[in-house]
Structure 1
Amino acid sequence: MMAAWLAQLDEWHEEDEFERIVDAVFAIPQPERGAQLTGHLARALNNLGRYGEALEQLHTIAEGDRDAIWHYRGGYAYYYLRRYEEAVQALERADELSPGDEHLQRLLAWSRDRAAKQQRSQERARQRAAKAAASGSATGISVEPPFAGMDLSGFWQDSDYSRQEYVCEAPTDELIASIEAELGYKLPASYIALMKTQNGGIPVNDCFPMEEPTSWSPDHIAITGIMGIGRDKRYSLCGELGGRFMIEEWGYPDIGVVICDCPSAGHDVVMLDYTHCGPDGEPEVIHVDQEDDYEITFVAENFEAFIRGLVHSDVYDTSEQDKQDALERVRNGAFSPLLAELCARTGEPDKLEQQIRAICLRVVEEKGSFSFHADERSYLMYDLQFWLYTGCYPDTTREQYLARYSEMIAFGGEFGQRGYAPGFVSQWLDERLQQGRIIETVGILSMERDAAERLLEQVAAAAS
């Protein structure tokens, strides 16, 4: 009986039916579950993001301390609860009991890195508090005038795009007060001072050196623009695509003010972080990475230090090396598990893999990077991924497809782009629906038959 139960739970796990696992195990009285069923329950809760509940269940297993899997699942939960030191302890114990597991080693390395970063953040907070106490200031705000000795006359780029999307009218005291009231935070004096030179825009120097790696680069971050104090421009603090939008719609942490967008098209931002200083204090500047579970990385002690530290992108011009790295990934990188599965089900996986690599090599040669946008080859690859996916999963809705799109190539591991702009994918899908090349029937998407036949011909021609 127990063997059948465990086989069923394993099957549901492989099918990502985590809610079914939770419901089934919770239906059994706790005294009757035993360690194995409880372990399955904890794993399912982890996969559903219910990490605190997973820990509660693990702690009901008395013999768990001698089990490597028990410690691994606990370490996994601690990691995603950002309790990194506890994650390290649990994963080190799991490694002692069952050494050599690749997934465990990777999560342990991440946990150690995050624990060290967390300790550095706590130390900065202690130093900041000590500095404020020593100066007699509750906020630590400098008494020096902002940007003393710094020439800001050449700080901003001038372009039609900047004026259209970023640059607001000069901020009045009334506007500043109303924006601060809407945001719930007092803006730094240095931020206001810079906005009075030009209220938002694209800086000439758009990179900041980093001591810790981020998703963008191991040694720096890049920004697209700095948001002005206003509401009228799309990229202003309270504009259509401004700071409040990024917090409310994209899920960025509500710990301050988003001030810079980045070239990743929304997948990372720069923020003012008021966590340690309160809404009226002097915030730190942080980088927040949406693709890494909103990981926070310290950037600068304050906004003025951030602006003074910006450097030109020429300092980090690695375009030729980036292109060669992308070519190597496309030629030899392993397909993601999902893409490999989809290709295998066509019956000619080797042929299709060669065609995909050939098309993507041409993308990299032309663009210098492995990225899809709104051009002809990108649309061909969007079409091909859709045809592959819906051929294997025919009952797919728009929401389901867009949710799984990134698992094929965008974040496909070795053969992956390491990022994408969801807006391009949505735009492609809307156009294909309008053209009739993709059909939606009772919410289910499929490729029109003639369009599918033409697609295979187009793929063969593009790869030749």
Structure 2
Amino acid sequence: MDKKRIDQLNEGQEADEHLFSDMFLADFWEDSEYAKESYQSEPPTDELIDSIEKELGYKLPSSYIHLMKYQNGGVPKNTNFPTEEPTSWAEDHIAITGIMGIGREKSYSLCGSLGSPFMIEEWEYPDIGVVICDCPSAGHDVVMLDYRACGTDGEPEVVHVDQEDDYKITFLADNFEEFIKGLVNDELYDTSEEDKEEALEKVAHGKFSPLLKELCSRVTEVEQVEQKIRSICTRIVEEKGHFSFHADELSYVMYDVQFWLYTKSYPETNRDQYVDVYPNIIVFGDEFGQGGYAPSFITDWLDYRTKEGRIVQDHGMIRFTDSYAEEVINTVKEA
């Protein structure tokens, strides 16, 4: 670590002691297995902090470092922050799922597999700073440290970035400390039941995309295939509270179903072509859609099914094996 960085840390130690009281910190974090598995790492060393800052290209706020040295990432007890303007999440607030820790080991750490570089590179969030919080929308909005006004070494503002509204940036707080102290309990804004009901209505009655409608019209192996698809997606909403596909078992069922439907109608399809057309089936479909996704979810699924031997390649074209296609058909029939 260079002398400049050591001097900065030493100068900030006394100030850090006054950022958050012991009483505040003792009651800040939620104790859960999910938080420990996905977010929480050992307290960061000065060397790790320096390394992460160099990788990100930004000096992290002293208040953030102070909080992470007490607990390095996790889920706070208060997960809502009031706003003065509406977002895709709500009219008067945003919600976070967790706060990313300093590190690379956990999925939701700053440089983890679902951390800040991933969200900027894969989800195309604006390159204005550092993603520090994920949100319940599963990638469709995030909270970021915004360094546009202060430069890479300054004190960043905290903003909400809304993919659902063309990456609209909404100001939240002048600094990280203000953001943390301004978090409020979700009981003040609990709309989970209403959100779930809306999602259930969408998957039960929402209009299919033209492509999904076309693919379903060509199915002869399964009776009422459209209703079967709606049934599987209803189970997804019942489990998650929202309509999105990730890396869970039911999402993989829907990846299977979409691939079977598409390659049945368009057998001369290679991997790149399928990755390009995939979002037009459901993700960016009509009323029966999700509005956004991370391409890595579908490419990871393709890699997994290929490694299993359930997707095979023939002269550059990809398809299910006959036996696995039959398994998928039976799964749809039973839905």
1:414 matched residue in structure 2: 287
1:315 matched residue in structure 2: 188
Alpha-carbon separation, structure 1, partners of 2:235 and 2:107: 34
Alpha-carbon separation, structure 2, partners of 1:155 and 1:448: 51
Secondary structure of 2:161's aligned partner? strand
2:6 matched residue in structure 1: none
Residue in structure 2 matching 1:279, options 142, 152, 164 = 152
Cα contact 1:288–1:295 (8 A) shared by 2: yes
Alpha-carbon separation, structure 2, partners of 1:165 and 1:249: 19
Alpha-carbon separation, structure 2, partners of 1:371 and 1:259: 22
Secondary structure of 1:356's aligned partner? helix
Where does 1:240-319 land on structure 2 (aligned, <5 Å)? 240-290=113-163, 292-319=165-192
Cα contact 1:374–1:424 (8 A) shared by 2: yes
Residue in structure 1 matching 2:214, options 334, 337, 341 = 341
Cα contact 2:143–2:161 (8 A) shared by 1: yes
Cα contact 2:122–2:294 (8 A) shared by 1: no
Q: State the 1:306 CA deviation.
A: 1.0
Secondary structure of 1:307's aligned partner? helix
Kindly indicate whether residue 321 of structure 2 is the aligned counterpart of residue 444 of structure 1: no
Structure 1 letter corresponding to 2:228? Q
Kindly indicate whether residue 282 of structure 2 is the aligned counterpart of residue 397 of structure 1: no
Q: TM-score, normalised by structure 2?
A: 0.78
Alpha-carbon separation, structure 2, partners of 1:216 and 1:157: 22
Residue in structure 2 matching 1:189, options 29, 41, 62 = 62
Q: What do the CA deviations read for 1:109-162 (whole angstroms, capped 9, x no partner)?
A: xxxxxxxxxxxxxxxxxxxxxxxxxxxxxxxxx999534798222111233443
Q: What do the CA deviations read for 1:219-275 (whole angstroms, capped 9, x no partner)?
A: 433223222334454433344543234334544332212222333444432211111
Alpha-carbon separation, structure 1, partners of 2:18 and 2:246: 44
Q: TM-score, normalised by structure 1?
A: 0.59
2:302 matched residue in structure 1: 429
1:200 matched residue in structure 2: 73
2:224 matched residue in structure 1: 351
Structure 2 letter corresponding to 1:341? E
Structure 2 stretches lacking a partner, 5+ long: 1-14
Cα contact 1:246–1:252 (8 A) shared by 2: yes
Kindly indicate whether residue 108 of structure 2 is the aligned counterpart of residue 235 of structure 1: yes
Alpha-carbon separation, structure 2, partners of 1:180 and 1:334: 46
Q: State the 1:444 CA deviation.
A: 1.6
Residues 395 and 178 (structure 1), Cα distance of their counterparts in 2 relative to 1, 3 Å cut: same
1:326 matched residue in structure 2: 199
Residue in structure 2 matching 1:151, options 24, 34, 50 = 24
Cα contact 2:225–2:332 (8 A) shared by 1: no
Structure 2 letter corresponding to 1:385? Q
Cα contact 2:130–2:144 (8 A) shared by 1: yes
Give me the identity figure in percent: 65
Structure 2 letter corresponding to 1:393? Y
Aligned length: 321
Residues 156 and 337 (structure 1), Cα distance of their counterparts in 2 relative to 1, 3 Å cut: same
Structure 1 letter corresponding to 2:161? V
Alpha-carbon separation, structure 1, partners of 2:110 and 2:252: 33
Secondary structure of 1:410's aligned partner? coil
What is the root-mean-square deviation of aligned Cα atoms in Å?
A: 3.5
Q: State the 1:334 CA deviation.
A: 0.9
Cα contact 2:283–2:290 (8 A) shared by 1: yes
Structure 1 stretches lacking a partner, 5+ long: 1-141
Structure 2 letter corresponding to 1:396? T
Cα contact 1:167–1:201 (8 A) shared by 2: yes
Secondary structure of 2:172's aligned partner? strand
Cα contact 1:264–1:421 (8 A) shared by 2: no
Q: State the 1:413 CA deviation.
A: 2.9
Residues 323 and 441 (structure 1), Cα distance of their counterparts in 2 relative to 1, 3 Å cut: same
Q: State the 1:426 CA deviation.
A: 4.1
Alpha-carbon separation, structure 2, partners of 1:171 and 1:143: 15
Q: What do the CA deviations read for 1:156-207 (whole angstroms, capped 9, x no partner)?
A: 1233443444334444555544544443333223223322332322211122
Structure 1 letter corresponding to 2:99? I
Larger RCO (CA within 8 A; separation ≥ 6): 2
Alpha-carbon separation, structure 1, partners of 2:154 and 2:298: 41
Alpha-carbon separation, structure 2, partners of 1:379 and 1:249: 20
Kindly indicate whether residue 333 of structure 2 is the aligned counterpart of residue 460 of structure 1: yes
Structure 1 letter corresponding to 2:74? G
